[in-house]
Amino acid sequence: MPVEVIMPKLGMAMKEGTVSQWNKTEGEAVKKGDPIASISSEKIEMEIESPADGNVLKINVPEGKGVPPGTVICYIGNPDEEVAATAAQVQEEKGEEEIKAAHPAPLPKKPGKARVKISPVARKMAEAAGIKPEDIKGTGPGGRITKEDVEQAIASKKESRKQDSLIQAPAGKEPKHTPVSGMRKVIAERMHASLQSAAQLTITMKADVTELLALKTQVKETIAKRYDSKLTITDFIARAAILALENHPEMNSAFMDNTIVTYPEIHLGIATAVEKGLIVPVIRNAESKSLIDLAKEIKEKTAAARSGKLPADEMQGSTFTISSLGASGVEFFTPILNPPEAGILGVGVVSDEAVFIGDKIEKRSRLPLSLTFDHRVLDGAPAAAFLQTVKQYLEEPVTMLL
């Protein structure tokens, strides 16, 4: 009996999964444990392995199509086994027949008096090329469209398509066209929807983290011996953002259904780059965690995210997000809100700068901060006050330990 391969449920909130890519084709032999397809949900992508030895008898879900969890996406079995139609397929076919019966195809319209003069051979060529005779200029007697006219129209159409595809390609080479699917498609849709649905504004500021880096070095050995861990600048930034959110709860909000929803707990999202895109592990109830506990959880969840082992429900429900491009050498940038959150903090690269301290010039380490916020939830002044508080904690790092 054929074995069903179903779309798994990647987290409690998952409503639909998409087959990003099939690694096997119908009829191809597989062994138990072989990766047969890649699937993706809103925030995660993973491989589906064959549950048994055999052949791929039938693929039910094509690449790029989303289906609910529990849907049979293919069958594995012996080559001589037959696959019965699933109840969903039967219902779908029945539904299509009912639609056709209820809406019969309209009768063809009678041709009007005005007719295009075209030879039968030319008409057949135009139809095969998908060109309307009305769009072709005839050069024959009385404006009649000839075979040569159609050939010229086809050549013009091909040249037009070629020119459209050549976007300043070097040395006459055509650009590569990659269909957007899986996680990349989800990210594209979410980022576009974010910009379309929120009044986003970005403000910037620099924090002097000279003392912070000194403190980090000072406690390095103690943290390693006592907690078998280490603190990164990201850990301190996360702690500073959490404390600032407690002081400015309006930033820990969302705009939904013409209502500003302010959350009592802080669920901090840490944007993490993975091989095929970007995902956001969530540190729940971050306000209740010490700096050490926060650092450990950030490391564990980002590592699990990069290895593809983080459960989908641990990438949902954040109330504020931090995104860093410091490792890429970026200073200021414009982070895009993670809907429906009201704020996201962008972190750049630390650089040494000459700064006036009183009348003297000193070398100081400065950290660029970019805050994007939803102007529907709060205005520039309270957003600036929040960013100023983050800056203050980073410049007085001992206060984060008290």
- Measured CA angle at 200 (ends 198, 204), to 5 deg: 160
Q: In whole angstroms, give the CA distance from residue 19 to residue 5.
A: 12
The CA–CA distances, whole Å, from 114 to 26, 110, 111, 134, 163 equal: 51, 12, 8, 11, 34
Q: Which residues contact 17 (CB under 8 A, 6 or more apart)?
A: 7, 8, 10, 39, 40, 41, 66, 67, 68, 69
Q: Residue 335 burial by CB count (10 A; 0-12/13-18/19+): exposed, middle or buried?
A: buried
Q: Is 53 helix (H, G, I), strand (E, B) or coil?
A: coil
What ranges make up the beta strands (E) of 178-291?
Answer: 200-208, 253-256, 259-262, 268-270, 272-274, 277-279, 282-283
Respond yes or no: is residue 352 known to be catalytic: no
| Cα distance from N-terminal residue to C-terminal residue, the chain | 65
The single residue of 34, 208, 313, 375 carrying the catalytic annotation is 375
Alpha helices in 83-143 (DSSP H): 87-102, 120-129
Respond yes or no: is residue 379 known to be catalytic: yes
Q: Residue 203 burial by CB count (10 A; 0-12/13-18/19+): exposed, middle or buried?
A: middle
- What single-letter DSSP state applies at residue 8? -
The single residue of 135, 192, 352, 379 carrying the catalytic annotation is 379
Query: Are 220 and 226 within 8 A, CB to CB?
Result: no
For the chain, the 3-state helix, strand and coil shares in percent, each to the nearest 5, are 40, 25, 40
Cβ-defined contacts of 256-263 (< 8 Å, 24+): 256/340, 260/376, 260/377, 263/319
Query: Are 182 and 18 within 8 A, CB to CB?
Result: yes
- What single-letter DSSP state applies at residue 1? -
Check the CA dihedral 233-335-384-246 and report its sign: negative
Which residues are catalytic, by number? 375, 379
